Amino acid sequence: MSGDPGLSHDAFLGGRLHIFQPIKGYRAGVDPVLLAAATPARPGQSVLELGCGAGVASFCLVARVERLLLTGVELQAFYAELARRNALENQLEMTVVEADLRHLPASLKERHFDHVIANPPYYERHRSTASEDAGRDMALAGETHLSEWIDVATRRLKPRGYLTMIQKADRLPDMLGACDNRLGSIRVRPIQPRLGRAAELVILQARKGGRAAFALEAPLIMHEGVSHKHDGDDYTPEAVKILRGGQALPWSG
């Protein structure tokens, strides 16, 4: 697979990880890196990633937190195989289950995890135009409703386990509406491209059985200034620590 001209070999976390992903099709950017940074995992805990794609979020997380027990669920065989390949490439261990998250195998339904993380498709199928690339289309606008992602995640969590999810900001009402009384201690962090710009992404975290009050965290500002004024990236120091240094995105409290 490493010689496949249809794949690129991309560095993440300042070169700590190298990931194979398709040149054409869905390609991981900063979103899974932010998702990993926001997950409050501790060494030795178990993590389930729903819709793991090529595995970027899980691998970024284990690059920061050692000895995690990683499991990924991925519907598309091509991306499931890429995740396995990337685990080998980076000398990491991850069990990748090829399955529809709505119809998980019995062996996975019997397990519960300290953390469930997810970067679900950002667009609703009936409101989006299909991509010519089937893999990209499924990743960006899948058939599974956001409420189903949250329900499956909640079922797979241990008591007091954490759900951490990144999504477009305009889907926040859907996310909050899907968090039923099994989840609490909900916190939301907006991801703002620049000062003076509206948030484009949000990270939601909820705890199974949590009872703390809802918290809206201060936004993470991704880029310096109010506009892009020169070639190259202009990430804020906080963003650089996460994207290049692999540091955590802390939550208050």
Confidence band (pLDDT; 50, 70, 90) for 152? very high
Q: Is residue 22's pLDDT more than 80?
A: yes
Q: What is the pLDDT of residue 233?
A: 78
In the predicted model, is pLDDT for residue 133 greater than 50? no
Mean pLDDT of 35-57: 98
Average pLDDT, the chain: 91
- Residue-level pLDDT at 3: 61
In the predicted structure, residue 240 carries a pLDDT above the cut 80: yes
For residues 45 and 61, is the Cβ–Cβ distance under 8 A? no
pLDDT bucket at 124, cuts 50 / 70 / 90:
low
Average pLDDT over residues 243-249: 97
pLDDT of 229 strictly over 50: yes
What is the CATH code for 7-243? Answer: 3.40.50.150
Is residue 217 pLDDT above 50, yes or no?
Answer: yes
The better pLDDT of the pair 129, 236 is held by 236
Q: What is the pTM of this model?
A: 0.90
Domain ranges in the chain are: 7-243
Spatial neighbors of 237 by CB under 8 A, at least 6 apart, are: none
